């Protein structure tokens, strides 16, 4: 009998979850065993999981879970260096040359465990079976607008926190915009046809901002891209991979430009393929932007867990997308799982 162990997220400001009580109930109906850890932050409380028939485990007790349990969480594990012995489903961020990714893979190799990276759960066309992209784009564009608003009064964007839902987020942004008058930022979204770009474009349009939608057709020539510098806000929705062009090079810092905010929703600053190499680290909820130029100012927003700004909607959306795949976790010989396993094994052999 397959056993899914839903671990509590241990990262600050992470309230999301990849399995809802309704989803857990459907797994149990298929004969699976579901254990849910207690969590002080999960956006969905524990009681509905218990009513669905899930067992309950202590917070962060997954290291002592039965050896056959598949440990399921979203964000990274605590970086304590311990060997990893279980099968894990999570966003590992380990396959693009990231230094932290190599450390994670070393832990799997040391413990004999297996990583089924959520980024590698793909269909026969290579498209992810589930993604937070839409809400990452939506929230990333929102924080980028907050940064632009702060600049209009000579400030830098202050701390951000989760919203109850997207309506409260929009109401807050509209109120902030009203405080500075009728001006709206001119924006460009690269990757506008994808999930991330669609979310970013929808948020900006909902605020009455002009949006220039770019995708592969506009970037295929490889650059340079002076058009980006002619906008107030640039939202990058393209995930770094080999062959991704540089969108904002170092000389843009001193070039004549209108650009004052970059929302790097893809947020891969330590990747060798980073298309925005003017910054070198992710930003945070407490310090949402990194100021990389002063005259004129240029702020980079690179929060790497943006969907957590809207944890309920993003969790429900993602969990619904992922559920059909989780329902097959009892047979890891299926095509989605074998593709993810092959990707893991490829990178383990490269260590």
- Please enumerate, by residue number, every residue annotated as part of a binding site for NAD(+): 127, 194-195, 215, 219, 265, 303-306
Contact 59, 40 (CB under 8 A): yes
Q: Which helix (H) or strand (E) holds 250?
A: none
Separation between Cα atoms, residue 272 and residue 267, nearest integer Å: 12
Other C-beta atoms closer than 10 Å to the C-beta of 208 total 10
Active site residue 15: no
Determine how β-strand 289-294 pairs with β-strand 297-301. antiparallel
Query: Which of the residues 88, 93, 96, 347 is marked catalytic?
Result: 93
Could you tell me which of 269, 288, 267, 285 has the C-alpha nearest to residue 277?
269
Q: 275-284 contacts: CB < 8 A, separation 24 or more? A: 275/236, 275/238, 275/240, 275/244, 275/245, 275/246, 275/247, 275/248, 276/236, 276/246, 276/247, 276/248, 276/300, 277/246, 277/248, 277/249, 277/250, 278/248, 278/249, 278/250, 278/252, 278/253
Binding-site residues from annotation: 127, 194-195, 215, 219, 265, 303-306
Tokens of 21: 């009580």
Query: Which of the residues 25, 33, 75, 193 is marked catalytic?
Result: 75
The catalytic residues are 75, 93
């Amino acid at each position: 009998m397959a056993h899914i162990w839903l671990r509590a997220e241990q990262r600050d400001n992470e309230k999301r979850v990849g399995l809802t009580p309704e989803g857990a109930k459907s797994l149990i109906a298929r004969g699976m065993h579901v254990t849910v850890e207690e969590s002080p932050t999960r956006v969905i409380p524990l009681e509905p999981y218990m009513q669905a028939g899930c067992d309950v485990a202590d917070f962060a007790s997954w290291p002592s879970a039965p050896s056959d349990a598949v440990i399921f969480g979203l964000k990274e594990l605590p970086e304590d260096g311990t060997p990893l012995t279980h099968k894990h489903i999570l966003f590992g961020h380990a396959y693009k040359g990231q230094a932290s990714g190599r450390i994670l893979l070393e832990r799997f190799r040391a413990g004999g465990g297996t990583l089924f990276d959520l980024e590698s759960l793909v269909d026969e066309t290579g498209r992810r079976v589930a993604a937070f992209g839409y809400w990452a784009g939506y929230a990333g564009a929102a924080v980028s607008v907050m940064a632009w608003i702060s600049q209009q009064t000579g400030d830098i964007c202050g701390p951000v926190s989760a919203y109850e839902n997207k309506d409260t987020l929009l109401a807050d942004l509209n109120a902030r915009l009203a405080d500075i008058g009728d001006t709206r930022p001119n924006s460009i979204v690269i990757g506008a046809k994808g999930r991330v770009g669609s979310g970013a474009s929808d948020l900006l349009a909902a605020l009455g901002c002009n949006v220039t939608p770019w995708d592969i057709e506009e970037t295929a020539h490889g650059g340079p891209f002076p058009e980006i510098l002619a906008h107030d806000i640039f939202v990058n929705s393209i995930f770094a991979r080999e062959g991704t062009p540089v969108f904002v090079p170092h000389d843009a810092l001193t070039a004549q430009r209108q650009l004052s905010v970059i929302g790097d929703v893809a947020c891969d600053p330590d990747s060798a393929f980073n298309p925005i190499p003017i910054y070198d680290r992710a930003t945070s909820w407490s310090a949402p932007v990194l100021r990389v130029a002063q005259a004129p100012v240029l702020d980079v927003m690179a929060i790497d867990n943006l969907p957590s700004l809207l944890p309920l909607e993003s969790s429900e959306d993602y969990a619904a997308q992922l559920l059909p795949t989780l329902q097959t976790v009892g047979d890891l010989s299926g095509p989605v799982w074998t593709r993810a396993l092959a990707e893991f094994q490829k990178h383990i052999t490269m260590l």
